[in-house]
């Protein structure tokens, strides 16, 4: 078999690229180029990155630094099957060195590259972080309850709901959807928000869980570039009654299961389900709570009525037999004593 040699440099060769040996073909071709220094802006507080004219979510600082170099690499247009490995090392407060190793092919000829690029970071506080640290807010959600104080449990859940809504909104890219602070007050809690829109979303989510009503009051706080700036207060009132309340409604005594636009529960006299539009109810009054129930002995079951031993007076009291009763006489049942008499709880 005749020996082949490169027409350009004369050396022996088996494989040719554009009719010359690999060394001659690659010559001074470069797989990639990179500026010696690249610049970037990162928020030291939250890691956001300034890109294309605005602050955007950033990942880990090291990854962001590497991405600045990656964005500036100029790959040879004929290259294919390129593999890149970038590692970063911090030099001082604001300088990193990124080491790039690359390999690939140009028209089938293997080629690699190694280079170092310096990244200079300017650490700047992003809009969101400067708003947060400046105490900025656009909206307030005031959580209160109608004709009572909200329970600690309700307030805790409302704050958790608000945090969940804010987190989801931030994930979708609304960087200003932050909770600036919360303020506990004797009558409820105030949640300060970085974004007006978030106020309505939080109210909707709370009402989905607890029911309730909101009233909005916008307040003009100034102007920016000729546009009026408003701050909106959402006053949210949780319903007057909560699950477990024993209330009398137009003469019927019910244990509340839900209260919002509608009141739902169990009629404690008959055991039937109760569901009415809250605004249609005329005479509503709270009598007791399930938590105030006491055990009492069921003395006799007479079909339409039952006899219960009042645990306080030791007198036998006759009450209507509710549908849900399934206990045999001689056993304990739970009762509540109210101004409207004794009621058995399911």
User: Of 46 and 327, which CB lies nearer to Zn ion in the complex structure?
Assistant: 46
Assigned token pair, 31: 């797989």
Total residues contacting Zn ion by CB under 5 A comes to 11
Going residue by residue from 78 to 117, which x/- string records binding to Zn ion, judged by CB under 5 A? ----------------------------------------
Q: Name which of 6 and 97 has its Cβ closer to Zn ion.
A: 6
* Listed residue (142, 193, 190, 188) closest to 167, CA to CA: 193
Q: How far apart are CA 346 and CA 333, in angstroms?
A: 9
Separation in Å, CA 329 to CA 69, 92, 271, 298, 315: 82, 83, 18, 5, 16
Nearer to Zn ion by C-beta: 10 or 218? 10
Applying CB under 5 A, among 4, 9, 59, 215 the residue interacting with Zn ion is 9
6 touches Zn ion by CB under 5 A: yes
CA geometry: angle 178, 181, 185, nearest 5 deg: 140
**129 near Zn ion, rule: CB under 5 A:** yes
Least distance from C-beta 58 to Zn ion, angstroms?
Answer: 9
Contact 64, 135 (CB under 8 A): no
Q: Residue 14 is encoded by which pair of tokens?
A: 């088996």
Site string for Zn ion, 45-74 (x = CB under 5 A): xx-x--------------------------
CA torsion 29-30-36-37 (nearest 10°) is 140
CB of 122 to Zn ion, least distance (A): 14
Q: Could you say whether residue 170 binds Zn ion (CB under 5 A)?
A: no
Tokens 């009572």 -> residue: 148
232 in contact with Zn ion (CB under 5 A): no
How is the chain split among helix, strand and coil, in percent rounded to 5?
Answer: 20, 50, 35
Site mask for Zn ion (CB under 5 A), range 248-287, x = bound: ----------------------------------------
Position 176 contacts Zn ion (CB under 5 A):
no
Residues that bind Zn ion (CB under 5 A): 6, 8-9, 21, 24, 43, 45-46, 48, 126, 129
């Amino acid at each position: 078999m005749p020996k082949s040699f490169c027409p350009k440099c004369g050396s022996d060769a088996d494989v040719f690229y554009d009719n010359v040996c690999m060394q001659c073909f690659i010559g001074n071709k470069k797989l990639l180029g990179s500026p010696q220094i690249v610049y970037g802006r990162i928020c030291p507080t939250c890691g956001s990155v300034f890109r294309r004219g605005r602050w955007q979510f950033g990942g880990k600082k090291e990854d962001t630094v590497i991405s600045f170099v990656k964005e500036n690499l100029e790959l040879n247009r004929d290259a294919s099957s390129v593999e890149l490995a970038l590692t970063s090392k911090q030099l001082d407060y604001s300088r990193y060195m990124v080491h790039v190793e690359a390999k690939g092919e140009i028209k089938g000829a293997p080629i690699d590259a190694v280079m170092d690029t310096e990244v200079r970071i300017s650490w700047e506080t992003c809009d969101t972080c400067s708003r947060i640290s400046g105490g900025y807010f656009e909206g307030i959600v005031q959580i209160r309850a109608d004709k009572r104080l909200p329970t600690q449990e309700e307030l805790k859940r409302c704050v958790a709901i608000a945090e969940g809504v804010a987190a989801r909104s931030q994930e979708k890219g609304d960087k200003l959807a932050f909770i600036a602070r919360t303020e506990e007050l004797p009558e409820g809690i105030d949640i300060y928000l970085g974004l007006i829109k978030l106020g309505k979303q939080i109210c909707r989510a709370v009402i989905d869980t607890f029911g309730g009503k909101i009233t909005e009051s916008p307040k003009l706080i100034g102007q920016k570039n000729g546009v009026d700036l408003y701050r909106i207060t959402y006053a949210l009132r949780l319903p007057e009654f909560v699950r477990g309340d024993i209330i009398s409604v137009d003469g019927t005594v019910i244990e509340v299961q839900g209260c919002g636009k509608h009141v739902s529960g169990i009629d404690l006299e008959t055991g039937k389900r109760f569901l009415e539009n809250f605004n249609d109810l005329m005479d509503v009054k709270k009598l007791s709570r399930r938590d105030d129930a006491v055990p009492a002995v069921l003395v006799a079951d007479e079909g339409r009525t039952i006899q219960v031993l009042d645990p306080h007076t030791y007198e036998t009291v006759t009450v209507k037999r509710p549908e849900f009763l399934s206990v045999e006489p001689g056993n304990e049942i739970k009762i509540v004593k109210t101004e409207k008499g004794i009621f058995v709880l399911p």
